[in-house]
Structure 1
Amino acid sequence: MAATLPSELSISHSTHDALPRSRVPSKSALISAMKVSSLLASSHDGRAVHARVVKAGLGTDRFVASSVISFYSSCSDLDSARKAFDGVLVKDVALQTALLIGYAQNGEITQARALFDGVMEKDVVAWNAMLSAYTHCGLPLDALQLFREMQMSNCRPNEVTLIGALSACSQIGCLALGEWIHGYLRRHPEVRRTTTLNNSLVHLYAKCGKINAALDTFLEHGSRDLESWNTMLTGFAINGCGTSALSLFSQMMKLGVRPDRISFVGVLMACSHFGMVDDARRCLDCMTRFYGIEPSAEHYGCLVDVLSRGGHLDEARSLLESMPCEADASAWGALLGGCFAHGKYELGIEAAVHLIQLQPLEEGRYVALQNLYAMVGRTEDALRVRKVMCDMGIRRSSGTSMIEVEGVVHEFLAGDL
C-alpha cells in the first residue's frame, strides 16, 4: 500500500513542503511526516522535516524523537539517529527500542546488544527486536540463547517472538525446540496463531525432514495465504517428494490460488530432486505462457540442475549460454555437480573455471578444479591451482557439524576431541 500524507498536511511534491508554513506544525503532523519520509526513503525530505522538528522545539520529545530515529535508521545514517536519541533527556523503553531496531536493521549487532543490555525494563518489543536482529544476521545460536533468557524473565513471548525463534531453529535444524514451541502454542491459545507463525512451523518441520508433521501443520490451519502454499510446496521439493509437490501445485490451481515466482521455483526444485526432466521443461514454458512470469536466473538455474542431474549436460551447457539473464554461481555449480556425477570432466573444468571467476575467494571452487585436473591427468595444472590457492591465502577450512542434545545445539569442528 502506498504511503499517504496525514490529513492535516496538504498534498505537495515533498513531505517538507506539505507541512503548514503559516503556523508551527503539530506534534502528530511532524511524526506522520517523518514516518512518510521513512517509508519513501526520502533523505532530503526527512532531513527537512527534522529541521522543522528542531525549530519547533520538539527534538527532545520522546515520541517525535522515535520517529526521527526510525527515519535516520531507514537511511542507514546511524550517527544522526544516535544524536536524536542522545538529545532526549528521559529515555523510555520505546525510545531505546527504536534505536535498537535501527542498529539491528543495519547489521550493527554489537551496538544493538549493548543498547539492549542497557534497557532496564525490557518489553516484548525490545526482546523481539534483538531476537530478529540475530536471526536476520545469521546468528541463530545467539538468537536461541536470547530466547532462553527471555523465558527466564518476566516477559512472555508473543507470536512475533515465536516466529523469530522458529526462524533460528530452522537455520540450524533445532527440531526439539521447534516442537516445544508448537506445544507451547497449543497450551497457550491466547497467543495468536497467525498464518505467518503457522508457515514458520511448516518450514521448520520440512527443513528438519519431518514432512508428515509439516503437512499436518499445513492442513490443520484453516487460513492459508500464498506463502503457506509455497512453504509446503518447497518443503515437498527439498525432501524429494516430487509427486506430492506437483499434486499440491495442481490443488493450488483448482482452488484458484495464483502462483508466483517462488511457486515455480518450488515446482522446479521438485522436478530436480525427482529427476522429472520433461516436467521441468513444461513448467518453465507454463510460467511464461499462462502466467506471464518471466523466468529469473533462479528458475533457469533450477532447470540447469534438473538437466545436469539427469545427464543432459550438453543441453544444460547450451541453456547457460542462451538464457536471457546472466547465469549465477548456483547454475554453474549445478552443471559442475552433474559433470562429476556423469564423468564429464573436461566440461567440469570449464564449469569450475567459470565458478572461480564468479567466486574468486571460494575455496571449494579451487579444490574442485584441482581434482578435475588430476582426474584427466593434467598434474601440472593441478599443482598450479594449488600454488594459486597458497599465494592467495586460500586454505581448506575444517568441516563442521552440529548435534542437538536435549534441545541444545552443539557445533563441532573436524579434529575436536
Structure 2
Amino acid sequence: MKLLLLLLSAAWFSPSEVNAATTGRFTTAVYSFERAFQDTITSGSLRGYQTVRLKATELGARPELSFQTYGQFSHDFQDDWDSDPSYRLYHAYLRWDDARDRYRLTLGRQTVFSGVGVGRIDGLRLRVLPRKSIRLELYGGALVYGGQEGLRSLDRAAMFGGHLLLSDLLGSTVGVSLFRRSREVDSYTSGIRQLYGLQPLEIRPGEVEQQMIGLDLNRRVGPTSLNMRWDLNTPKSWKTRRFEGNLRYRKAGWSFSGSYLYRTPYVDRNSIFAVFTQSSNQEVSIRANRRFSRHFSLFGEVSRVAYDGEDGYRANLGVNIFNGYVGYVKRTGFGGSADGLTGVLRYRLTPRISTSGSIGLTRFRTYLGSDVRSRVLANTLGVTVRPSSKLTVSIQGQSLSQDLQTTAEDSFSGAGHDLRIFFSASTWFFRMGAE
C-alpha cells in the first residue's frame, strides 16, 4: 500500500501538472466552550482546526485524469493531549473518468457509500455503465478505522463489496448490494463460560466485523412514489438488520406519506457489545404537509415506536415560514416523557451579510413515573460575512442552560450552563493550467 502514496505524490508533483486546473479551499476554525457546574466549578476548552481541500483536473494534459484530497489538522490550545496535534486524511485519490461515460476508476483513500456498504478504504473503486439502465460498482481495499490514520494491510483490516443498480425495470429502479468488512481485534474471553465448561473465547481475532446483503426498490407512478430497503446480516445465518418502506403522495400543494421501519442495533460482530442481548424496534409514522406558497407551509407527523414489549409515541407539528421554522414535539410512553419547542430563523441583511438564530426549550422527566420535570434551554446566534467572492467569515455563539431537578430515585444534579463560540474563515482559489 505504500506504492499507493507514492503514486498519488507523483501525480500531484509531476512536471506535467502545470497543464492542470487547480481549485482549493482552506478553512481555519476555532472552537471554544466553557462549562459551569452547579457546584461553581468551571471547565473549558479551546481547539483550533485547519482543513484543506484540493482538486486538480486534466493531469498530464489528460482531461480524464484528476486528483482530489481533503484533510484536517487540529490542536487543543488549553489542554495537553498526547494525540495533539492530530490529523485526519478523509480522502486522497486519483480518478479516471472515461470520455464516453462508460466507466469511472478511483484509486486511493476514499469513503464508500454503496448500498449496504459503508466505510473508508485505501483501495480501488470501479463504476461501470455498460448500458444507460445498468450501473455496476465494485470496490475493495484496506480499511481505515477507529480514527487511526495511515495505511493498513489487507490481512489486518479490509473491506470489499459491490452494488448493481437496474433502472427502468418494469417501471422501477432495483438495486442489489453486498459487502464484507473484517478487522483484526484483541480477543475477548469470558470467565463465566469457562466456569460452565464452555469455550471461553467470546470474540476471536480477525472475525468478520460486518457482512450484509441489501435490496432496494424505487418506483414512481404519477403523484405516488414508493421506496423500500431491506438489509440482511449474513454471517452464520440470514437475519434482517433493517427493513424500511416509504409511500408518498403529492398533489396540488399537499403531501401525504406513511413509513414503516424495522431495525436492530448496528453492532460490529467482533465488538464487545456483540456478546450482549440485542432487541429490535419497529416504527410506524404518518406525515402530512401543506405548502401554501414558497415561504409558508404547515407540517405534522405522528409516530408509534414498538420496543421489546413496550410502546412509545411521538407527535411533531410545525410551520415553515420564510427561511426558518417553528416546531413542537411531544414524546410519551416507553423511552421517557418530554415535550419541546424549537424555532429557527435565517435572515440576509445585505447581499454579503447573513444572520441566523435559534432557540429550543425542552422539558422532560429524568425518572419514569416521576412528576418532576427538568428543563433545558438552548439558543444560538450567528453571523456570516462574505467580504469577497473568495472569502467567507462566520461566527456563532451557543448557549445551553439546564435545570435538572433531583428526585429520590435520581439524585443527579447536572451542569448549570455551557457557553460555546465557533469561528471560521474559509478562502478558496482557482488556477487555470498553462495553455
Shorter-chain TM-score tier: under 0.3
What is the TM-score of this pair, normalised by structure 2? 0.23
Higher RCO, 1 vs 2 (CA within 8 Å, ≥6 residues apart): 2
What is the TM-score of this pair, normalised by structure 1? 0.24
